[in-house]
Amino acid sequence: MKKEWNTVEILRHSRHDWLNKIQLIKGNLDLNKIDRVRMIIDEIIIETQQEAKLSNLAMPKFSELLLTSNWSSKPFLLEYEVMDTVAGCSLLDDCIFSWTENFFLLLSDTLDPMAENSLHIFISYCGENIRFSFDLQGRIRNEDSLRFFFQETPSEKGEVSVIVMNEQELFFHIDVNCSELRK
């Protein structure tokens, strides 16, 4: 179920995130760890560049889902990377958003909440296709639910390819030809 964020909630979460980053910088400055401060600032720059790339995908629902995912209680930490200058595909927004949201809900039921679970999503081009790669590291309790879920693709013009699935890792791609969607 999608949470409707109001402006105050968005600002509160964003302010909290920035305060954490500033406190990390301040703490390391107090310890005179200048190299660590530089690393933190570099990480912030990279994260902000990724947020900008994600926001420019022409997929506002999907982008919002990823940008706000770590603000809600989930048994995994989400990171994402937009690899190239991916133009995105506005025609894909609704279906990839719904599919990914349902995938996140399924992960809430299939991951061990006591384990350190992380999900990395990479968005890139693969030939003529836009590719969404999902790399989950953690403790998977129910692989059968995931296998059943992967029988459903987010678009009739797309394909889900599971590369690795076991109790500790899941890696798969979704490839969609955006030009085929326009036909």
pLDDT at residue 164 greater than cutoff 70: yes
Q: pLDDT, tens digit, for every residue of 91-131?
A: 889 989 999 999 999 999 999 999 999 999 999 987 778 89
| Residue pair 160/176 in contact by the 8 Å Cβ criterion | no
The pLDDT score that the predictor gives to residue 154 is: 67
| Residue pair 133/96 in contact by the 8 Å Cβ criterion | no
Bridge-partner residues for 125, per DSSP?
130
3-class DSSP state for residue 45? helix
Q: Among 164, 103, 177, 98, which Cα is nearest to 135's?
A: 164
Local confidence band at 155 (pLDDT 50, 70, 90 cut-offs) = low
Tokens representing 37 are 């401060």
CA distance 47 to 44: 5
The pLDDT score that the predictor gives to residue 119 is: 98
Q: Among 100, 92, 112, 99, which Cα is nearest to 176's?
A: 92
The pLDDT score that the predictor gives to residue 159 is: 83
Q: pLDDT, tens digit, for every residue of 14-70?
A: 898 899 999 999 999 999 999 999 999 999 999 999 999 999 888 999 999 999 999
Given phi > 0 = left and psi -120 to 50 = alpha, else beta, which region is 177? beta
The pLDDT score that the predictor gives to residue 12 is: 85
CA distance 157 to 183: 10
Please state the pTM of the whole predicted model: 0.86
